[in-house]
Chain A
Amino acid sequence: MANIISDETIEYVGILAKLELSGEEKENAKQDMEKMLDYIDTLNELDTAGIEPMSHVFPVQNVFREDVVTNGDGHEETLKNAPLQKDNSFEVPKTIG
């Protein structure tokens, strides 16, 4: 394997993803990521000069809706998914900002 994920990188990715990984999980994740990067290297072997980057898998464009209200009061449906709720709102650990 050509690509090496350092301990620092896996730590940083863990912080970004808000995941606390055990030592074993970190090692597994490192291996998975290294394989992914190797695969990208394989793709990079292709000559893509002059080819427009693809931003969407289907050949569609300008998919719009008109500016008309179609949804009613959705709070009951929405809050069904809340582990904790209070005053019609999701209740979460205190967050500053």
Chain B
Amino acid sequence: MAVGTTTARSRAGRARRWRRASQAAFLLLFLYLLLWTRQPAPQLAKHALFFRLDPLTGLATMLAARRWIGGVALGLVTILLALLTGRSWCGWVCPLGTLLDLFTFRRARAHSRDLPAPWRSVKYGLLTLIVVGALAGSLTLLVLDPLTLLARALTAAVLPISDALLEGAARTLYGVAPLRGAVSTVDAFIRRTVLPAQPALVTANLALAALLLLVLASSAIRTRFWCRYLCPLSGLLALCARVSVVRQRVDAAACIHCGRCARACPTGAIIAEHGYVADVTECTACQECVAICPTGAISFGQRPSATGVWPYDPSRRQLLLSLVIAALGAALLRGARTLAAPSRWLLRPPGAGEETLLAQCIRCGQCVKVCPTGALQPGLVTTGPEALWTPVLTPRQGYCDYGCSACGEACPTGAIPPLELAQKREMVLGVAVVDRTRCLAWARQQVCIVCEEMCPVPNKAILLDDIEIATPQSGTFLLRRPVVNEQRCIGCGSCEFHCPVEGPAAIQVQRAEVAGTIAHRQAVGSHGAL
């Protein structure tokens, strides 16, 4: 067979160009949807597109909640894609995969030799852990889903950093008087189009950024390290890829055994011993082999009849081990959950019941991203390890705005239910409690009722206890002191957020004794905090 002509080579390169274009488009779409997950925004639900397409989160959520959840059913499309075309999601769509491709290293590329075979099984092990955990009602390990991992890191670290850099630059340049008009215009333009609204501080920013950085840094060991060995979604897609229709094929007659394809393959799916036919459970259809083959011997198309079995297919023993570990882990977490009463500081988004949240929260961080005040934060201390990075309401960081119901709209799985604004205003998030030993009015007889001023509830949920104080300097004055009306307080935290006392506020929202709506609380007769 003659060596491929220039036309044949460029034809081969075309498929790779399509793949790169596809990767760019999906990465930009992912970034755009994430950037514009903000309030107010029409059709917030559409911004969770990637999480809805993710079959791993969809499967785990439906297993944990024991019901069909329409919101994440689009994952079936991805499964179908994998059944037809193998792990093309990994090569053409996955935004984390695209980022990993952007961060490849020449040194790592030179390591065409794979890590020992058992490494490949780790992703199947993680997948098993996630599935068994989900069956036991726990979605904790979904923090390792690639899309949620990337989204959380962007929300918590990258976007706030970009915002800080932009603001820093604007502040510096604004100091130069002749530039003021230009700085104003450019900043306003960027805020309207690319980097909207000042992102609130996310408390877990370092941890979330570190996780992404670790994944990216692992590319120094082998290209697409994460995709090869760790990513549980790739494990799921790999299982589907076993029956895929469209695969990489090698024309044995044209192959000159140069080995360039094996070196070029980012997931190390091609080895000489298998005649340079890519392992279908590892091949991401990136077309690198097609482009680099000097004779044009490689192509993608309908699979040939014979396919090989690779040495790192998970064995029965490994599967059993994963199942046992998963079951034990889930049982432990479950036990911990039932033993410990929820912390009195554990506050959840409006309408989010604890059981539903734990069974349906995929840790995507959409609610954290959309929350306009930074009230919702990825939980850790108050939630315990099982509920790691599920959303908690932290009034000292941000109050729950009375005019907003965005979190429920943005949540793809319904862990936070979508509520009309009027409904959301009826939900009890907690109850405010005044610490009379620290409140400026109660403890120091200072004029301060900022909590009452900021309380957004009509007719106010903070009453004023007025007394006349006599002072030597200025005669008598009226001292107004805050008292919480526990029948009306919805625990939004506006009071706690605005309280001017140093450190923890002198009025703090605590978990309510009875969850649900204001009306329900009145009916049940309880109005206290835990």
A complexed with B: no
Interface residues of B (CB under 8 A from A): none
Interface residues of A (CB under 8 A from B): none
